[in-house]
Amino acid sequence: MAEERETRAAGVLVDEAWAAYREGRYQAAVAAAGRAVEAAERLDDPVLLVRALWAEGSALELMGNHPAALARYTRILGLAEDRATSGRLDDPRAAKAVAAAHCNWVACARFMTGIPVRELFKVLEAAERWLAATGHLDWRASVLLERASVHGRLGELDAAVAAAEEALAIKVQHPDAPGYTLNAHRKTFADFLRQAGRSAEAAPRYEAILADPAADQWGRRVAHQGLARCALAGGDPGVARREARIAVLLAESLGDDALCLSLDVLAEACRADGDLEEAWRAATRRLEAAGRIGGHTRAYYAARTAVDIALDRADLATAKRLLGELEEHAAVLDASAGIRTMRSETERRRQRLTDAE
């Protein structure tokens, strides 16, 4: 009886973790899920353990702590592959956690420069095989969405758009399948349409998120952020600035990862609107948030924006210092993806500095 009570209590903790996650209270979600993990370990309950690890990893991921989240997803996949525990995961709740772990592992690994980006396709192929073997091919949407993101990281935009569009179609067909939400699918498809120069097609997808009563704070943030970028592409910095400010306000309580992305579009909108001082304040805040997250990805994009604005402001000393940091991040990121896109971007900014000097 005592063990049953502890199992029920741990299950309640998992539910509490997901409730906090949906409300954007990620620290609380990590705390509740962590206690559930400890209980599952004491109880030797692998189903409860993978559920708790999934909740904990998801919250850590949205806080920008990708290494810690990756460790949780790795542990879930290890339990699913270990013959000593895999047979004890014959439970629909555990299957959802394992399916999500495949996709979320790739999502985190895209930020880990020690893992070659193209190798991530192999993990997604393994996820497809697992779904087929367990009779869950109707859950494929999230795998396809991650495939789109990997293509996007490699600069293969046509493939990214195609995979994201297929993923969205499957999610609409199977809306209750576990994995990324419908709004996450809308957002990713819209992002790749926009990056491919198709902002007019992207904007309605972002608007659909805002029109959805089920949209959470994270979803509303990314929608306003996307609309700001569409406005920039359409030559309307005033609208872009308004949308970006809303995105930043929504991001304030969602952690540094969200804040980084929303501050970026605010900096770009202010820059396009001719307000370099406000743009610099946003860029500086973004550099600070990226520094707290760590790693190269967020730091690269934060430094890139800051270099552009420093050059606009004719602050050549600051631009020169930031360019050194930018070049370091670009070299690492391009090496992990087997491309030279970021080094080319950095070289153009180095030439701009040289011309200014």
Using the 3D structure, point to which of 46, 80, 109 is the last residue of a domain: 109
Which residue has better confidence, 62 or 278?
278
Q: Is 56 within the bounds of a domain?
A: yes
Q: 245 and 319 share a domain? A: no
Measured distance CA(103)–CA(54) in Å, rounded: 11
Q: Is 290 within the bounds of a domain?
A: no
CATH number for the domain that contains residue 27:
1.25.40.10
Structural domain that includes position 144:
115-194
Measured distance CA(354)–CA(347) in Å, rounded: 10
Using the 3D structure, point to which of 255, 285, 315 is the last residue of a domain: 285
Tokens of 251: 């991001």
CA proximity to 98, closest of 135, 137, 68, 53: 53
pLDDT in tens, 215-263: 999 999 999 999 999 999 999 999 999 999 999 999 998 888 899 999 9
Residue in the structure block whose two tokens are 């690492």: 332
Task: Kindly give, in sequence order, each residue whose CB lies less than 8 Å from that of residue 205, ignoring residues fewer than 6 positions away.
Answer: 186, 187, 189, 190, 193, 226
pLDDT in tens, 98-132: 999 999 999 998 887 778 889 999 999 999 999 99
Contact yes or no for 240/229 (Cβ under 8 A): yes
Q: 253 and 315 share a domain? A: no
Q: Is the pLDDT of residue 1 over 70?
A: no
What are the C-alpha distances in Å from 10 to residues 33, 42, 60, 133, 322? 9, 11, 19, 30, 47
Q: 280 and 307 share a domain? A: no
For residue 167, what pLDDT band results from cuts at 50, 70 and 90?
Answer: very high
Q: 311 and 259 share a domain? A: no
Using the 3D structure, point to which of 194, 227, 246 is the last residue of a domain: 194
* Count of domains for the chain: 4
Q: 262 and 349 share a domain? A: no
**pLDDT for res 88:** 85
pLDDT over 70, % of the chain:
99
Measured distance CA(146)–CA(120) in Å, rounded: 9
Measured distance CA(172)–CA(327) in Å, rounded: 42
Q: 87 and 35 share a domain? A: yes
Q: 96 and 120 share a domain? A: no
Could you give the count of Cα atoms lying within 13 Å of 179 in the half-sphere of its Cβ? 29
Q: Is the pLDDT of residue 192 over 70?
A: yes
Measured distance CA(166)–CA(178) in Å, rounded: 17
pLDDT over 90, % of the chain:
76
H helices of the chain, where? Answer: 2-22, 26-43, 46-62, 66-81, 83-86, 92-109, 120-133, 141-153, 157-173, 182-195, 199-211, 217-233, 237-251, 256-272, 276-293, 297-312, 316-337, 341-356
Q: 120 and 104 share a domain? A: no
- Number of other residues whose CB lies within 10 A of the CB of residue 351: 10
pLDDT, the chain, mean: 93
